Amino acid sequence: MVAKGTLSYLWVLLKLNMKAALALRAAYAVRTIFNIGNHAIYLFLWVVIFKTIPSIGGWRMEHILIAYGLAILTWGLLSFFAAGLRTLPRQIDEGSLDVYLTNPRPLLMNIALGSTQYAGPAEIIFGLVVLTIAGHLTSVSIPLLIFLGLCAFIVFASLVLAYGSLGFWLKDYHASAEEMYFNFFIMATRPEAVFHNWMGWVIVTIMPIAFMTHIPLRALIDDNIYALGLTLFGTTLSAITAYAVFRTGLKRYESGNRFGVHG
């Protein structure tokens, strides 16, 4: 019964977000066109690059398409369905989490679905189109691609939650956090060979964007079962770590509330 009630509540929140997006059709259309154009130009630049250079560290155009498709899909999913995670630092500064703390529903779900970004659906569609094109070029397993897309979303959402939770300790952190989220997205779309030496360790430890795209690509294109297992491990560890950081910060926030202090 509890699970059924939670799912019903989740569905209500999703419908409210969709209604909010449809209420501003003109602004939504303009933003959609601009975003799709921006992403298309970015991919076109890679087409030009690979006409001159056959590959970059073993990456070809199909690698870029899958990496970018996964990254933009996860960005769109997070922006539309869980934008509250992106605004977590601002909510901490403003003391907005108090509302969620008094709600009996799951706290993290409330925070995630508490706001939405209207560009999300367009980015989701664009990501799916890019992945479809990449799928035809490479003949990769579509079910595996969908599964790894889900893993990429969990990793990215975990990154946003973990780094957003630093707002429990840092004041006026929201602008810096948003820049970090965008940089995570950009890093995930770059060829793996770019991150050599110590940077290679960074992208699998403190900024594990490698589990969004780089390692899943090995599982998809090279049929590397070890890479698939590593992706699952990295996804699970990212989620657990992010939740632990969030809960630790939340305890500090709750303690501050008792004395009328936030952060």
Ordered by start, the domain boundaries in the chain are: 2-257
Predicted pLDDT at 34? 82
- Which structure tokens are listed for 258? 């008792």
Helix axes 61-81, 174-188, angle to 10 degrees: 150
Say if pTM beats, i.e. exceeds, 0.85: yes
Distance CA 86, CA 162 (A): 11
Q: Give the N- to C-terminal CA distance of the chain in Å, as an integer.
A: 36
- Which structure tokens are listed for 125? 């569609």
- Give the pLDDT of the chain (263 residues) as one tens digit per residue: 445 555 666 666 666 666 666 666 666 677 778 878 888 898 999 999 999 998 998 999 999 999 999 999 999 999 888 889 999 999 999 888 888 888 767 889 888 888 777 777 788 889 999 999 998 888 888 889 999 999 999 999 999 999 999 999 998 999 999 999 999 999 999 999 999 889 999 999 999 999 999 999 999 988 899 999 999 999 999 999 999 999 999 998 877 643 444 44
Distance CA 163, CA 206 (A): 10
Distance CA 166, CA 36 (A): 31
CA 139 to chain CA centroid, Å, is: 25
Nearest residue to 147 via CA among 219, 91, 196, 92: 219
Nearest residue to 73 via CA among 133, 152, 13, 11: 152
Nearest residue to 210 via CA among 177, 176, 239, 234: 234
